[in-house]
Structure formats: structure tokens, C-alpha cells
């Protein structure tokens, strides 16, 4: 009856929550050539030896095998974009097992969250919403739409032009806006502007052709040059590091507003990074004074934001509780990276989203 | 000293509201070579003879000169996209004075209104908004983001692929969506797919390259073929005519839902046309049953929608009072068309957005 089947390679999902039968079915459909199993573990708990030793590939958020159990493991794929939360584990320090991140999966949801907030602000969605609740049509004297404006011709500066910033840039350009990119290191050549990580198909700016100009630097002087471009929107999409902590404060907001000039609404700030990249008291002052026309904040300092905090009620601020990246697509997209990398392993190619030990990202 | 200045040509703005000094200043800056004056008239009132006779160009919403006063008038530019409201005037019937419309100025605001509503729905903005009002952060058990999804990979069918539909298509593609176009007449060749009217710079789909396929027809059978494409979004951007009145009803909504299948949220309907293009009772039923996952309606039947009308409280419906086209840019953009046409007159070229008498649009 022909050859006996080769033993299947084994994909182990080690997660903090039980997978639903539907999720397992979807995963098995995505990896028909692999045996798939899952285990539910506490956050940070090591994967039990008998499971780890059977695994060819591991997908996890924060559960790792002991190095001695991982001899057959071809790669460990993380469900998070960053790996800082597990960087002290012996797998990082004592093995050369390839590690891959989910960087890139956040582009579409966070870009949609960003553009939603811009439009909600510029088109006065809250008025529309409250009037609908009261069953009120407009009357011609109500000034319902006074001051409504659109995004065409607006200049958006994106501090941190990674996979998230690129999808924001892509949609911004379609809206008729002009995009300015800011990165930590210089990107002088076309190839240096490429995005070589995972990109959700149909999105992003792989070639880096969306921005009209690129700017860079890691010091405040470079950031201030960027803020002086006359921006209508500033999007903060930077990692939080000692250098980026409180990078933006009263002087930077004043510079942003002064540079934008008097045409149209004052600059609008979007923070999808971390609350501590800006001086939140200075932001509150800039919003109260009208120096900034509004702000969309998915992150605050601290989180959760206490109920009595004044930020909740500052005029023209839209706050969400650190949810901009969430969505039903997250898990499936992250597994697409693992699927791509199973193929690359077979073909002997470099892995997508490979973590470079020692470089810290 | 030197030559006496030539008498300036005269641009007359005949409008129903007084222009502000700032508006007049902006207009004079846009037309530095013309003398500019304005007159405030009642809707539909003829322009007084002594003013009309001095005019070289007229910009108006609904105030026209008597034919005998218009011998020097080079064109009349309308601030509206359609001219149906003035089509019985003798200027239409008894003269050959070029008439131009503001078609094209609505693309960006209505596209932004549309995408805003999609994202408000898919990302549950109302939850975010209500929780902010109550100063509530999420707790991990709240299911705050359960069911949040993004637009990547979603299929949008645009019934009426004119200047508005094209800007919706452009932004949809940037969001990672697939666009299907529907027009009344066939567009089989690349040149037949061009948009030859006014386009707000940086927006639209001039070449018609955004859609993956084009569909057409003026009968219900053709529309039903379109609705059977498996769409996640249907956008209605058709003119209201006897043929399009109640074009969509219970059978069409059922077809749309059945064709879309079981993957992801049920189809979402956006109406930026007129309330009467659909059977509103059937829409209410389709939303109540969950056959449609939601609807964004800038137009209703009737308008204003009475306070006691059940549509206000149907689940997942977002209603605005026929304001999607409004914004601070409207007047200035419409004047950009007049400015372009002053240049075309000088150069002896065909006018942009010229109304073709006898064709009805």
C-alpha cells in the first residue's frame, strides 16, 4: 500500500487562554502539513518538558521551553510585536533558536483607529451621535456643521515610520494629505526606506514612497526641526525608551502650533505609543488653551487612567483604553507569519521578523 | 503713467446669504484680474438688470439673469452639483450661455463621512465615547473589544461610481479593501472609465483604475447581479430618478446577505444618495433581523425624519441629517472650478463641468 507516512512535524501553541475549537480548526486548516496541539499555561510559566520535546515549531506569548527541551525546535514565534517581556529567559541567552515577532500585524487596526479619531473630530461625530439619540434632525439655524472640515491638503508628520506609521501614511495619502516621515536612523537611499518585515497584504508602504520627505534623529533638536514643518497632524508612533520619555512637552507643543500658522484648525495630536512619551500636564494645558485643536489618545500616564484624572474631561480629547491594536484578525495574522516562516525554513531562507539577539529588537 | 488700464472683467456672486468680508477677500485673492462684487438675493429671485448687465461671469446657487441682461455673460457657474432646481429658467431654454456645475466638490467630505461611519461601527466608537464620558477604563473581563474588526480584505460595491464613489474607492483601497464599481452605462474601455469632471487635487480615481471590476445597467436584474458579488459593504451613490426609486428592497437586502456568506460580519449599507432609493421599511426589517450588520444613512425618507420615526432607534444604524457634503472648503472649491474656467475661456478650451442642455445633467 505505498510508503508509510513520514512522521508529521509538530506545531505547539502555548498560550494563556484556552483556544476555542474554532480557533484550533482554523489553525489546522492553515497548517495542513503539521500536527497541531495547544496547551494553556500561566503567563511566564515554562512549557512542560514532555510537550516541548515534541515541538518542531512553537507559537507563544510568554511561555518558553527550557533550553534542554528545545533541541528539535526550529523556531519560536511570538504573538507580540516586542519581545522585551521575555528577554531574560535562557532561551534568549543560551540558545541560537530563531525567534520571530508579530511586528506588522498592528498596522491596519491602529491606522483605522487613528483615522477614525481624526474624522470623528473634524466631522463632529459626537454631535451627530447625540442628536440621533434625541431623535433630532438639524434645523437650518443650528450651526450643526459650522467648522466641519476635511483632511484634504492637511500635513501629517509621523514620528516613528514603522509598520503602523506606514499604514497611517498610506490612508492619509488616499485622503489627499501630505505625509512627512520621521525615523531614528537616517534613510537616505530608496532601499533604506523599504519595510522588510511582515506587512498585512494590501496595506502599508513597503517601498517607502508615500512620504514627501524623510527626517531623522534621536535628539530633541532633530525632533524640533520636524515639529517646525508646519504640520496639521502629529502622530506619535515611537517605542518608549529613556530617550523618548517626555520627548514632547510644553515647548514642543508651542513650536508645533506656531509653525502650523493661522490657516485652518490648530494641530491635532495622536498618541498610539505610550503615555510617557509626552508630558501629559503640558498636553492638557495645550488642549485647554486651544494651542492644539484636539488629541486622540489610546495611551495615558498612568494606565488605567484613574476616574478622577482631569484628562478625561479636557476639551477635544478622545481617549480609549489601550485597545487600538485589538481585533478579531490579530491571532490569525500572527500565525500567517509563522506559516510563512515554516516555508522559509524548508527553503533555507532567512526568516521573516527574525529577532536579532544582542540588538535588543 | 503709461497705458490706461483695460476695464476689468466682472465676476458677480449672487447668493442667498451675505458673504463675509473674509470670504470676499478670499475670492478677490483667487481672481486678482477680475473686479468682484456680490449681491444677496432671495432663493430663485432673478438678478437685477443693472447688476447682470455688468457681469462677465456669474457664480450662483439659484439666482439667474434675464436672458436679455446676459449678453456679456461668458458663463454661469452653479454652486450645486445638480442643476435640476433651475432647469425651467429661460436662461436654460432660450440662451446658449455656458453653464457649469460644482460636481466633484463633494468627493472628499462625503468619502470621509462614509469611512468615518464604517470605522465608528467596526471599532465600536460609541463604547469608547460613552466610557470616556463615565471616566471608565476597560477591565479585562469587559469584552470591550470583542468583535472589533478591521476593513482589510473587505469587498465594497459602489453603486454609482462618480466623483464621490471614486474618492470612497480610493480610500477603501488604501484601507486594504477590494472595490467593485457600478455605473448606469457600460465602461468597457480604459478611456471610458476616466473621470473628466472637476476633481479635488490629490483625491479621486481619475483613471478609474481602483476597481477590480466594473458592472453596469439600469434595470433591477443588473443591480441584482452586482449585489450577488459577495459584498461586505454596499454604498449607494446614485441619483434619484424614477428608475432608482425603491431600487433596493427586501429581496435585494436578502440577496446581498446571502451572497456575502457566513464569514465575518454581515453586509453594511451606506446611503449617501436619497432616502427614496430604498424601501426604508425593508431596511429597518433587515437591520432588526441582523441580515445587515449596520447602516450609515445621511439621507432618510422623509426629511426631516420625524422624532417619533422608528428608524432613529434601529440597532446599528447611524443617522446624520443630510450633512455629509458640508464643510468649510465647499465654497472655495466651487470657485476653483470657476477660476479654471475663466482660464479656459481665455484659451478657447472646453469648459470643465459644462452642462449639456438637453441631456438633463
User: pLDDT per residue over B199-223, tens digit each?
Assistant: 999 999 999 999 999 999 999 999 9
CB contact under 8 A, A112 and B122: yes
Query: Residue A22: its pLDDT value, please?
Result: 87
Q: What is the pLDDT of residues A248-282, one digit of tens each?
A: 999 999 999 999 987 789 999 999 999 999 999 99
The interface pTM score, or ipTM, of the predicted complex is 0.95
The reported pLDDT for the residue numbered A6 is 67
Task: State how far the Cα of A264 lies from the Cα of A1, in Å rounded to an integer.
Answer: 77
**Contact: A132, B319; criterion CB under 8 Å:** yes
CATH of the domain at A170: 3.40.50.720
Q: What is the average per-residue pLDDT within B57-82?
A: 96
A83 and A136 within one domain: no
Do B295 and B337 sit in the same domain of this protein?
A: no
| B98 plus B112 within the same structural domain | no
pLDDT at B142 over 70: no
Is the confidence at residue A142, as pLDDT, over 70? no
Is A159 domain-assigned?
yes
Distance CA B119, CA B151 (A): 8
Q: How far is the alpha carbon of A211 from chain B, nearest alpha carbon, in Å?
A: 14
Q: Do B128 and A329 touch (CB under 8 A)?
A: no
pTM for the structure as a whole? 0.95
Residue B233 placed within a domain = yes
Q: Measure CB to CB from residue A137 to each of B135, B152, B305 and give the nearest one.
A: B305
Give chain A's mean pLDDT: 94
- The answer as to whether B335 is a domain residue is yes
Confidence (pLDDT) at A2: 47
Contact state of A149 with B312 under an 8 Å Cβ cutoff: no
Cell numbers that stand for A348 in this block:
533555507
Q: What are A28's strand-pairing partners?
A: none
Of B149, B170, B308, the CB nearest to A174: B170
Alpha helices in A186-324 (DSSP H): 220-227, 250-260, 280-289
Has residue B3 got a pLDDT over 60? no
Q: Looking at residue B317, what is its pLDDT? A: 98
Asked if A149 and B305 come within 8 Å (Cβ–Cβ), the reply is no
Confidence check: pLDDT of B140 > 80: no
User: B352 pLDDT exceeds 80?
Assistant: yes
Residue A121 covered by a domain = yes
* pLDDT confidence tier of residue A84, bands split at 50, 70 and 90: confident
The model's confidence at residue B1, banded by pLDDT at 50, 70 and 90, is: very low
Of B137, B148, B327, the CB nearest to A148: B327
Domain check: are B183 and B213 in the same one?
yes
Say yes or no: B95 and B126 in one domain. no
In terms of domains, do A34 and A176 share one? Answer: no
Cβ count within 10 A of residue B66? 17
Q: Which of B126, B150, B155, B318 to mutate to test the interface with A (most CBs of A within 10 A)?
A: B150
How high is the mean pLDDT of chain B?
94
pLDDT higher than threshold 60 for residue B133: yes
What's the pLDDT score for residue A4? Answer: 56
B264 shares a domain with B115: yes
Mean local confidence (pLDDT), A170-185: 98
User: Could you give the number of structural domains in chain A?
Assistant: 2
User: Which residue from A15, A30, A23, A107 is spatially nearest to A63, judged by alpha carbons?
Assistant: A15
In a domain, B361, yes or no: no
In terms of DSSP H, where are the helices of chain A?
21-30, 49-52, 90-94, 107-122, 125-133, 163-174, 220-227, 250-260, 280-289, 330-347
> Are B111 and B83 part of one and the same domain?
no
Q: How many helices (H) and strands (E) does chain A have?
A: 10, 12
Which of A327, A333, A336 to mutate to probe the B interface, most B CBs <10 Å?
Answer: A327
Structural domain includes residue A3:
no
One domain for residues B218 and B290: yes
Q: Is the confidence at residue B145, as pLDDT, over 90? A: no
Give percent above pLDDT 70 in chain A: 95
Per-residue pLDDT reduced to its tens digit, A213-237: 999 999 999 999 999 999 999 999 9
CA–CA min distance B132, chain A (Å): 6
> Is B4 contained in some domain?
no
- A79 & A155 share domain: no
Calculate how close chain A gets to B266, using CA atoms only, in Å: 15
Tell me: the pLDDT tens digits for B164-174? 999 999 999 99
Q: For A323-344, what is the mean pLDDT? A: 95
The nearest CA of chain B is from the CA of A34 a distance in Å of 25
In this prediction, residue A115 carries a pLDDT of: 98
CA distance A329 to chain B (A): 7
Residue at A357 is within a domain: no
**Residue B347, pLDDT above cutoff 80:** yes
Portion of chain A with pLDDT greater than 90, in percent = 87
Task: Indicate if A219 and A244 belong to the same structural domain.
Answer: yes
Tens digits of per-residue pLDDT, B84-121? 888 899 999 999 999 999 999 999 999 999 999 999 99
User: Which of B135, B154, B156, B304 to probe the A interface (max A CBs under 10 A)?
Assistant: B135
Banded pLDDT at B359 (limits 50, 70, 90): low
Q: Domain range holding A156?
A: 107-319
Rounded to whole angstroms, how far apart are CA atoms A329 and A4?
37
* B311 and B245 housed in the same domain: yes
Instruction: Note whether B171 contacts A171, CB cutoff 8 Å.
Output: yes
Q: By three-state DSSP, how is residue B15 classified?
A: strand
If one counts every other C-beta atom within 10 angstroms of the C-beta of residue A222, the result is 14
> Chain B contacts of A309, Cβ < 8 Å?
135
Amino acid at each position: 500500500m505505498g510508503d508509510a507516512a513520514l512522521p508529521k512535524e509538530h506545531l505547539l501553541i502555548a498560550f494563556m487562554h484556552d483556544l476555542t475549537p474554532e480557533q484550533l480548526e482554523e489553525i489546522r486548516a492553515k497548517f495542513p502539513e503539521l500536527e497541531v496541539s495547544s496547551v494553556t499555561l500561566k503567563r511566564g510559566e515554562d512549557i512542560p518538558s514532555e510537550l516541548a520535546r515534541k515541538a518542531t515549531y512553537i507559537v507563544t506569548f510568554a511561555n518558553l521551553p527550557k533550553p534542554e527541551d528545545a533541541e528539535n525546535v526550529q523556531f519560536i514565534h511570538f504573538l507580540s510585536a516586542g519581545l522585551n517581556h521575555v528577554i531574560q529567559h535562557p532561551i534568549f541567552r543560551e540558545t541560537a533558536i530563531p525567534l520571530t515577532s508579530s511586528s506588522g500585524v498592528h498596522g491596519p487596526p491602529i491606522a483605522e483607529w487613528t483615522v477614525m479619531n481624526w474624522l470623528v473630530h473634524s466631522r463632529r461625530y459626537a454631535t451627530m451621535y447625540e442628536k440621533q439619540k434625541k431623535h433630532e434632525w438639524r434645523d437650518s439655524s443650528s450651526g450643526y456643521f459650522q467648522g466641519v472640515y476635511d483632511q484634504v491638503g492637511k500635513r501629517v508628520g509621523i514620528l516613528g515610520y514603522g509598520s503602523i506609521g506606514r499604514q497611517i501614511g498610506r490612508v492619509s495619502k488616499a485622503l489627499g494629505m501630505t505625509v512627512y516621515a520621521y525615523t531614528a536612523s537616517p534613510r537616505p537611499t530608496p532601499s533604506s526606506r523599504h519595510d522588510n518585515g511582515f506587512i498585512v497584504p494590501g496595506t502599508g508602504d513597503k517601498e517607502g514612497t508615500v512620504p514627501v520627505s524623510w527626517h531623522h534623529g534621536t535628539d530633541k533638536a532633530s525632533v524640533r526641526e520636524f515639529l517646525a514643518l508646519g504640520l496639521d497632524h502629529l502622530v506619535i508612533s515611537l517605542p518608549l525608551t529613556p530617550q523618548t520619555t517626555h520627548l514632547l512637552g510644553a515647548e514642543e507643543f508651542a513650536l508645533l502650533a506656531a509653525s502650523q500658522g493661522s490657516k485652518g484648525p490648530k494641530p491635532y495630536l495622536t498618541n498610539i505609543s505610550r503615555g510617557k512619551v509626552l508630558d501629559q500636564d503640558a498636553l492638557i494645558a495645550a488642549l485647554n488653551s486651544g494651542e492644539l485643536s484636539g488629541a486622540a489618545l489610546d495611551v495615558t500616564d498612568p494606565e488605567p487612567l484613574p476616574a478622577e484624572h482631569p484628562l478625561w474631561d479636557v476639551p477635544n480629547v478622545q481617549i480609549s483604553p489601550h485597545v487600538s491594536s485589538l481585533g478579531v484578525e490579530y491571532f490569525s495574522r500572527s500565525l500567517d507569519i509563522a506559516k510563512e516562516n515554516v516555508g522559509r525554513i524548508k527553503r533555507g531562507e532567512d526568516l521573516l521578523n527574525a529577532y536579532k539577539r544582542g540588538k535588543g529588537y
